[in-house]
Amino acid sequence: MRILILGGTVFLGRHLTEAALAAGHTVTLFNRGQRNPELFPQVEKLRGNRDGDLEALRGGRWDAVIDPSGYVPRLVRASAELLANAVGHYTFISSLSVYADTSQPGIDELSQVGTMPNGLQNSEEITNESYGPLKVLAERAAEQCLPGSTLVIRPGLIVGPHDPSNRFTYWPARVARGGEVLAPDRPAHPVQFIDVRDLAEWIVRLVEAKTIGTLNATGPAGPLTLGQVLDACKTVTGSDAAFTWVPESFLLEHKVTPFTEMPLWVPSADAGFGRFNLARALAAGLTFRPLADTIRHTLAWDSARPADAERRHGLKPAREAELLAAWHERAAENQVG
């Protein structure tokens, strides 16, 4: 197949390109050429900008397009309209953040999606409140432009090598350092995420099959807890890490930011984020590599980065030490009391 990827050099796009090439497909990348332009010298590269400079796409023809870089409905519509007669299949990468109510487990593809907050209906600013609703509108834009030929993938947290967010990488790296590790909530806290390589390889298989519709995409196939993840990190790294589990109430009181400052932890108000329904994805062939493999390869990639490379999310050492000290002080006071 001839596959066009809008992006293709950063994290999911990078792995999609690798997966498509490994499967024997001919790949074209469309991007600005600003991030990792040296990657994939063997593929055709079209330069442009999704916001007003799509000229390089005109006149081309591909069997399929994969769009992992669309966040604003207007821009997704522009590319989908231009490509409507140039491709046979459009895959749009959305997000599990589209759902309106994440308080309960079992959210599936038919669950209600969110809408833009009042007063922001015409806004293109991406915030915590607007990100999901904007993705909903972008999904609809793609589907309206290519009716009957669109696949929408809604991933959860994507993890693995080359993840710029550090939202999973924090844990293997932190556990590898050893010592006392602040852990959020409780060992039984449910979590879901997907290795970027599993996601990319699956998407390419779906494109090959010309799959259409909407699919949640996270993992693993069965229940997974944060305690199991941290224990696996300890086993893989061989560290002497000792986990101090701190309750949600304490974390919220001390304004610890869920999912970012404290990766993989979401408060009980959003418990659905650890238990999405994956029945459709599993039926469509989604598979998962062992957790230890994800941890090992993520840590190897992270360890090869410069020590001063940006690591956006996760507790800073001083902040972790401060929280642990405050927790132990409170525990001591409670014992005395």
Domains of the chain: 2-155 (3.40.50.720), 170-191+222-269+293-336 (3.90.25)
CA dist 18 and 71 (Å) reads 23
User: How confident is the prediction along the chain (337 residues), in pLDDT tens digits per residue?
Assistant: 999 999 999 999 999 999 999 999 999 999 999 999 999 999 999 999 999 999 999 999 999 999 999 999 999 999 999 999 999 999 999 999 999 999 999 999 999 999 998 877 788 999 989 999 999 999 999 999 999 999 999 999 999 999 989 999 999 999 999 999 999 999 999 999 999 999 999 999 999 999 999 999 999 999 999 999 999 999 999 999 999 999 999 999 999 999 999 999 999 999 999 999 999 999 999 999 999 999 999 999 999 999 888 888 999 999 999 999 999 999 888 876 5
Phi/psi of residue 12, each to 5°? Answer: -60, -45
First to last CA, the chain: 70
The H or E element that residue 200 is part of is: helix 196-208
Alpha helices by DSSP H, listed for 149-275, are: 170-177, 196-208, 226-237, 248-253
C-alpha torsion 275→225→262→173, nearest 10: -130
DSSP 109: T
CA dist 300 and 295 (Å) reads 9
CA dist 29 and 90 (Å) reads 15
pLDDT of residue 121: 79
Phi/psi of residue 141, each to 5°? Answer: -60, -45
In 10 A of CB 306, how many CB atoms? 6
CA dist 66 and 56 (Å) reads 16
Residue found by looking up tokens 């309960």 in the block: 104
CA dist 281 and 279 (Å) reads 6
pLDDT of residue 336: 65
Tokens matching residue 5: 């990827």
SS3 content of the chain, % helix, strand, coil (to 5): 40, 15, 45
Contact 161, 196 (CB under 8 A): yes
